[in-house]
Amino acid sequence: MTLVKSSSGIRGTLGGKVGKGFSPIDIIQFAAGYVFWMKKKHKNKKKFVLILGRDGRVSSVLFQKFLIITFQSLGVDIINIGLSTTPTVGIAVMNEKADGGVMLTASHNPKNWNGLKMFNSYGEFLSEKDFEKLLYIAEKKYFNFSSYKKLGHLFYKENYIHKHIEKILSLSIIDQKIIKKAQLKIVIDGINSTGGIAVPILLKSLGVHVVKMYCNPHGDFVHNPEPIEKNLREICKKVPDLKANLGISVDPDVDRVVFICENGDFFGEEYTLVSIADYILENQLGPIVSTLSSSHALKDLSIKKGVPYYSTPVGEIHVVKKMKEVHAVVGGEGNGGIIYPKFRYGRDALIGIALFLTQISKLNNIPLSKLKKRYSNYFMSKKKIRFFFHSHERHKRMEILLKTIKKIYKGKKMDFSDGIKIYFKFNEWIHIRKSNTENIIRIYTESPSRKRADFLSKKIRFEIKKL
């Protein structure tokens, strides 16, 4: 059983003892901690309103009831928007001027997981400092339930995904006419979650001919839901078979998006951000921000365009914080997460899709295999090693690991802001860090050569396993 608490939210496997997995009691405890963090944050308010959304997981239907009961028992009003996407909850918080919001999802994790993503009153994820306060309140149980006279009320608002899409289509940078004129045929893998609702609605609004795969949001994921190449073999085959222009895949809560080329090749989750940043920089020059684990191709693009590039620790809140500091025009993560600040400070697959389709349509419906050749060609190896020791030992073991790696690579340029990143010549690097979403160590390597990327990965994993 697993329970992970980080700035990316709370998520865990279903079943097991309290505190060891994502159980109903844990849901109530963390939800109550969130409410009392919110009440402390806004001490002068007497009435609070929260947005509540969920992904398509089977357990989300059940766990939504626990959240509603908890929030009402704490005297909070709830606007339940039902089946939704994580960015849609953020939009709803802003539109309704709510005090916060909760999305019931475990993002890209498998179907035996679930979790909570929590928002502040700006429709953004909680800062690390605020999240630590929430955890303290939850663990110490510093909260009181309301009397029957002060119970919260429940309201329902439907069609929030439509409102989200309408807001995207109102942006001047999105050219609906040119996309409709392109007459695109696109295959969409909705992983049987809310992407199966949201992405087809967006595409049909843009005049696209849509071919659906796994777009029934019943939560029975037919493959691992993380949108990476090894999990998307079926759509990669279907796109050329159907002579489609491209394919689109999203994760279960629709904050990450990846594309499939017309010939069935994987466009690459790293190149989602690179290509969209290229389009945005054609319209407005300014800084771009991504993470230490993202491809060097984005930095190469910044050099070509003559704009500053900044990297941060992995995690949406870190990227958003830096974007605000430097007034970035675009940012995100190399996992297919796009943040367009003129829309909202948060990853959003739907805005990413609309920007990308505008880009390729303006380039005379350029094939994706040709578009990718416009950018630096790097190869990445993304591996992970599972923790096999108790939670109280993890931090200590990670410290020992990083100290040992530091000694082995003494003399190399290194960055310690998120695990350890080691830089080599020819834009090669290794990044080792503890995951925010699973009990694993992530090991990413990159090189202009596939053989070198794989070699660096094997070498570092061999050194780690010796420890």
Question: What whole-number percentage of the chain has pLDDT above 70?
Answer: 98
Question: What whole-number percentage of the chain has pLDDT above 90?
Answer: 85
Torsion of CA 229, 7, 322, 333, to 10 degrees: 0
Q: What pLDDT digit, counting tens, does each position of 252-275 carry?
A: 999 999 999 999 999 999 999 999
- Identical topology for domains 164-372 and 379-465: no
- Confidence band (pLDDT; 50, 70, 90) for 148? confident
CA dist list (Å): 456 to 111, 368, 384, 447:
32, 29, 14, 9
Q: Which CATH number describes the domain made up of 164-372?
A: 3.40.120.10
Cβ-based burial of 448 (10 A; exposed 0-12, middle 13-18, buried ≥19): middle
Is the pLDDT reported for residue 392 higher than 70?
A: no
The mean pLDDT value for 154-177 works out to 97
C-alpha span between 303 and 337 (Å, rounded): 21
pLDDT of residue 387: 66
The mean pLDDT value for 428-454 works out to 93
- Confidence band (pLDDT; 50, 70, 90) for 288? very high
Q: For residue 128, what is the enclosing H or E element?
A: helix 128-140
pLDDT of residue 15: 86
**Token reading at 400:** 């020992």
Residue of 404, 428, 433 whose CA lies nearest to 418: 433
3-class DSSP state of 3 = strand
Residue 281 has a CB neighbour count (10 Å cut-off) of 19
3-class DSSP state of 454 = helix
Domain locations along the chain: 3-158, 164-372, 379-465
- Confidence band (pLDDT; 50, 70, 90) for 125? very high
The mean pLDDT value for 344-363 works out to 98
Q: What pLDDT digit, counting tens, does each position of 200-239 carry?
A: 999 999 999 999 999 999 999 999 999 999 999 999 999 9
- Confidence band (pLDDT; 50, 70, 90) for 440? confident
Class of the domain covering 379-465: alpha beta
Q: Please tell me what DSSP assigns to residue 356.
A: H
Is the pLDDT reported for residue 172 higher than 90?
A: yes
Paired strand residues for 422:
414, 430
CA angle 148, 151, 155 (to 5 degrees): 140
pLDDT of residue 391: 56
pLDDT of residue 46: 85
Contact 339, 319 (CB under 8 A): yes
Q: What pLDDT digit, counting tens, does each position of 60-110 carry?
A: 999 999 999 999 999 999 999 999 999 999 999 999 999 999 999 999 999
pLDDT of residue 394: 65
Is the pLDDT reported for residue 397 higher than 60?
A: yes
Domain 3-158 part of CATH 3.40.120.10: yes
pLDDT of residue 24: 92
Mean pLDDT of the chain: 94
Is the pLDDT reported for residue 241 higher than 90?
A: yes
CA angle 228, 354, 199 (to 5 degrees): 60
Q: What pLDDT digit, counting tens, does each position of 3-55 carry?
A: 888 878 899 999 888 888 999 999 999 999 999 999 999 888 889 999 999 99
Query: No. of H helices and E strands in the chain?
Result: 15, 20
Q: For residue 113, what is the enclosing H or E element?
A: strand 113-119
